[in-house]
Amino acid sequence: MESSSSSSSSSTLISSKITSESLQKYIDEISGLPKGNGWSPSSDLYLYKGFWFYPHFLPGAMYARDHFQAQPNDIFLCSPMKTGSTWLKSLSFLIATRSSKFDDSTGPLRTMVPHDCIPFLEFGEYYSTPTGPKTPLFASHLPYTCLPKSIIDSGCKIVYLCRDPKDTYVSLWHYFRNALASMKPGQEDMFVSIEEGFEYFCNGVSSQGPYWDHVLGYWKASLERPQKILFLKYEDMKMETEACVKKLAEFFGCPFSIEEERDGIVQEIIKFCSFESLSNLKVNKTGKQMRGDQSMENSLYFRKGKVGDWRNYLSAEMGERLDNIMEEKLSGSGLTFKN
């Protein structure tokens, strides 16, 4: 429900920027990590705690590791990149901040991209979000073993969203290539082909990859702590959106009332957060975000959002190969991505 703006000791009220001294310390730490080729010649990947990262992700992640103090009422929305985090953020934001009468004519999501409404932990800056201190929402692409220890120790809740790896790969490839074209026009021609990138992905070399290890970490944790970690699949959310939205509200501790369901609040939230609705908002069609000293179009967060789109870019043989890899890697875990 609508949250208070009164002050609190919640971690959402910490306002911190990485100092130049701290930044240099993390740069030195990064320079000592194993390094491999990234998906473009201009950027390498670094192996940190068993996962590959582009270097711009790591200083914030390391700063959070050393300084972030989670609170028991914090809620983290975690996911690998390009698995539906924009959709999850918008739904979660409206669920957590809803008032007794839903009104989509105003509100932060009309003027801010969802990633600005719910900050990413690894960007290294923590501030009071529009959700307020009663329901502090954070997001992260970090693998479970890379999360700050305080998140696990505090007992705060985690929602994890993953997606069929074939669709994830295709979306990831398009996103990085288009982001490169947006921020450094002309350099997208040096980006790996979709076939070359597929080889990297199948070998576990992708941003926050290996993908299967990212998924397995949260899956196993959700089995150990089901009351604290809600594990979701993008495909299930697309197929049973209303049930998943209600599940999120229950998990957040703010279930929909009988009156809200009768008044169609659940459907209103789903409609506002649909791909068609969000992608056509002015802020998401024409807005831009700064990434360092370069700007990137918000429209890059909205490509298709369709299940099974991989078939338009990968051969049946490539799809079968990745399915077989995932089946082998997930063997014995109880988790599967088979339709």
CA gap 145, 227 in Å, rounded: 19
Helix (H) or strand (E) holding 230: strand 229-233
In Å, what is the CA distance from 135 to each residue of 93, 127, 152, 156, 174? 10, 13, 18, 11, 33
Residue 301 makes CB contacts below 8 A (sequence gap 6+) with 86, 113, 114, 115, 284
Residue 325 makes CB contacts below 8 A (sequence gap 6+) with 202, 212
- Residue 88 has which token pair? 């999850």
141 is catalytic: yes
Catalytic residue among 67, 115, 141, 214: 141
Helix (H) or strand (E) holding 324: helix 316-329
CA gap 330, 212 in Å, rounded: 7
| Strands (DSSP E) found in 54-146 | 75-78, 137-140
**75-78 and 43-48: which strand pairing?**
unpaired
* Residues facing 295 on adjacent strands: 290
Residue 132 makes CB contacts below 8 A (sequence gap 6+) with 3, 4, 5, 97
Q: Smallest Cα–Cα separation from 48: which of 38, 37, 60, 62? A: 62
Residue 158 makes CB contacts below 8 A (sequence gap 6+) with 75, 76, 78, 151, 218, 221, 228, 229, 230
Q: Smallest Cα–Cα separation from 109: which of 125, 123, 89, 126? A: 89
Q: Is the dihedral of CA 215, 232, 176, 76 positive or negative?
A: negative
Active site residues: 141
